[in-house]
Amino acid sequence: MTSSPTPAPSIVDRLSAPHRGPVPFSVEFFPPKDAEAEARLWRAVRTFERLGPAFVSMTYGAGGTTRDRTVRITGELAAQTTLLPVAHLTAVNHSIDELRALVGAYADQGITNLLALRGDPPGNPLGEWVKHPDGVEYAEELVRLIGELGDFHTGVASFPEGHHRAPDLDHDTRALVNKLRAGAEYSITQMFFDVEHFLRLRDRLVAADPEQGAKPLIPGIMPVTSLASVRRQAELSGSVIPDDVQARFAAAAGDGPEEDRAAVRAVGIDFATESAERLIAEGVPCLHFCSLNFAKATTEVLERLGLDVGSVVPATASS
Ligand SMILES: Cc1cc2nc3c(=O)[nH]c(=O)nc-3n(C[C@H](O)[C@H](O)[C@H](O)COP(=O)(O)OP(=O)(O)OC[C@H]3O[C@@H](n4cnc5c(N)ncnc54)[C@H](O)[C@@H]3O)c2cc1C
């Protein structure tokens, strides 16, 4: 045992607890680069705190100083807010000893919910993956490692369109099943532009292993508010943007020299709301919003889904 973490509720327990709105929701943040970005993150955190997410998660960056800041801020989320934080943990560029120390550093701050990920090569997410000589090759091994270290609750990533390095969907589904069999209690998906991909992943998972398929499969949703972010997300996630969705955003952007930002944003909010409505109708256990450290767009979607947002969103919050 690395240490004895103070037990925090597990994500699975949180998802079955009473919640506001039609379905539990969660919010993903990323580590801010500087003091100004950190202040913005905290504004978003305080707004979301009032809306009662089931949990919040903090992504894990590739660089050393970002990593230290991530651990510190995730600890502050646990200590200074009512939110339940999940720390993303990636294997990239870490030895097993370093991974153990990192898990221990989170445990010391009372963070017992971890999302176990392999991570991508720093600089170029699509570049060649090189295992640390004393590290782990796959997230599945990280799930097992965390399980050996104490009483943690672990989640993993899943990919509705298949992971970009997987030779085919069946291989990727087996990889997900193996991560769940290794002890992961739920998975959160990569964002997608077509709900059908999510539903097919759910079917594949249940068919491959009904017991693991019964664990929560949480869809990742990003309200995209500009054409650039639509393209960037598609590129980073390897998601295909269906022609009709592309056409919708392109029509909103207009054919002037500058994109009509307000119209694109409105389509982004509509699109995220429609996807979320379909997912709720399909019985998903939670909606996981990639907030990009802004509260406003996600809050608008939540409000349209029926969450009583009331007056909690500061008029000054930017998109
Ligand atoms: C919800 C979510 C959150 C994320 N957060 C972060 C973050 O905070 N920081 C960050 O850097 N990245 C993050 N990522 C990106 C993620 O790290 C990358 O997509 C990475 O390339 C895959 O990680 P994984 O944990 O799914 O890897 P793995 O599950 O190890 O899979 C990697 C590849 O290997 C294959 N594979 C898995 N196990 C085996 C096996 N036993 N034998 C053969 N092949 C196998 C899989 O099919 C896949 O192609 C996140 C992704 C998601 C969906």
What pLDDT digit, counting tens, does each position of 75-92 carry? 999 999 999 999 999 999
Does domain 11-304 fall under CATH 3.40.50.300? My reply is: no
The pLDDT score that the predictor gives to residue 311 is: 61
Q: Mutate which of 86, 102, 163, 176 to test ligand 1's pocket (most atoms within 8 Å of Cβ)?
A: 163
Tens-digit pLDDT profile for residues 279-318: 999 999 999 999 999 999 999 999 999 998 876 665 555 4
Q: Is the CB of 31 under 6 A from ligand 1?
A: no
pLDDT in tens, 236-286: 777 889 999 999 999 999 998 999 999 999 999 999 999 999 999 999 999
Per-residue pLDDT tens over the stretch 212-225: 999 999 999 999 98
CA of 34 to the centre of ligand 1 (A): 27
- Cβ of residue 171 lying under 6 Å from some atom of ligand 1: yes
Q: Which residue has the tokens 């009483």?
A: 151
Q: Is 28 a catalytic residue?
A: yes
Count the residues in the chain.
319
Residue nearest to atom 14 of ligand 1 (CA): 119
Instruction: Name the residue at shortest CA distance from atom 10 of ligand 1.
Output: 119
For ligand 1, is residue 174 a contact (CB within 6 Å)?
Answer: no
Helix, strand, or coil here: 155?
strand
**Cβ of 172 less than 6 Å from ligand 1:** yes
CB of 206 shorter than 6 A to ligand 1 = no
Domain boundaries, the chain: 11-304
How many percent of the chain have pLDDT more than 90?
80
* Confidence band for 63, pLDDT divided at 50, 70 and 90: low
Residue type, 280: I
- Ligand 1 centre and the CA of 26: distance in Å? 20
The span from the CA of 184 to the CA of 24, in Å, is 20
Alpha-carbon dihedral 319, 300, 69, 141, rounded to 10 degrees: -130
Give the 3-state secondary structure of residue 317.
Answer: coil
The pLDDT value recorded for residue 50 is 94
Alpha-carbon span 113 to 55, nearest angstrom = 10
CA-proximal residue: ligand 1, atom 53 (nearest): 190
